[in-house]
Amino acid sequence: MNNLSLIIFTILIQTSVGIFSTTLFNIWINKKEMIDISLIILSTCLGLIILGLISAMVHLGNPRNAPYAVSNITHSWLSREIVTINLFAVSIVLLWIVTFADVQKGLFLIETVSLILGISTIFTMSRVYRLKVVPVWDSIATPMDFFGTALLAGSVASAVLNWVISDKVYSPCLTFLIFSGFGLCLKIASIFTTISIQHSSKTLFWYASLRNKFKGQTLAHVFRAGVYITGVALFAAANIGLTDQSTIFLLISFCIITLTEIWNRFCFYDSFCRLGL
């Protein structure tokens, strides 16, 4: 439970980036239907960032230590992570103001910069965990997992927000389907890459206790992949109208993917094994 604040922090920030990215690409693809990002969506993104940062400060223990987290930006990925997250938040605030004022000039530029900052946020966040002394984290599985969360959780959350705004499940949306499908692929690839690393690392297998632990984790990984697939299947069914209960399917898929993301992140931190200890 010591990692609960980090779990909340990473999931909320990644979901915020995912919601913004999915919505933005959907707008760019369907400009004839929508021009501005809804203030509700922008407010949600900003709210998730704020809650995530609060959770990160709780993890620091003493909020007064927060300024020191950005004091080594030239050498520390942690400092870069905090800076990019705050820059992303500032860009969302600026976009909220421009949208509220109904100013079209410069809107595309602000949206593009915000998107770049969002992607940079996920990248720097994944780099924080690329520690050579932690083999399970120091692999391509970490950025695949984090970007997968942004795409999968973000696209499903975007669909829920659209349902709240329009009072109906979104009509067949290729953007949502592509983002959720790509996110699912990244999550599955991350899970099986982690399994491969755990079972191929001779260094880790010096620890007899870890051999037994990883056997149990393998079963959990495979089961979790199946749950992800189930959640996305329900989301796809709701999105393309394969059922008369689209709203129920959408909300169930949102709950399944959200809970699985939390479980997945608990497993991510549980896979920690620092060499030399």
- Residues in the chain, total: 277
Provide the token pair at 221: 């990984």
Domains identified in the chain and CATH numbers:
4-270 (1.20.1630)
Any idea what DSSP says for residue 241?
T
In one-letter notation, the amino acid at residue 118 is G
Average pLDDT (58-76) is 66
Which pairs from 227-231 meet CB under 8 Å and 24+ separation?
Answer: 227/256, 227/260, 228/152, 228/184, 228/187, 228/188, 228/257, 228/260, 229/184, 229/188, 230/256, 231/156, 231/256, 231/257, 231/260
Whether the predicted pLDDT of 169 surpasses 50:
no
Among the ranges given (48-57, 112-121, 134-143, 249-258), the one the predictor scored with the smallest mean pLDDT: 134-143
pLDDT of residue 147: 97
> Measured between alpha carbons, how far is 269 from 171 in angstroms, rounded to an integer?
38
Q: Higher model confidence: residue 68 or residue 27?
A: 27
Any idea what DSSP says for residue 242?
-
Q: What is the pLDDT of residues 188-222, one digit of tens each?
A: 999 999 888 877 765 554 444 555 555 667 788 88
pLDDT-based confidence at residue 56 (cuts at 50, 70, 90)? confident
> Measured between alpha carbons, how far is 74 from 128 in angstroms, rounded to an integer?
14
The answer to whether the beta carbons of residues 232 and 257 sit under 8 Å apart is yes
Q: Higher model confidence: residue 72 or residue 15?
A: 15
Q: How much is the pTM?
A: 0.88
Quote the mean pLDDT of the chain.
Answer: 84
> Measured between alpha carbons, how far is 169 from 242 in angstroms, rounded to an integer?
12
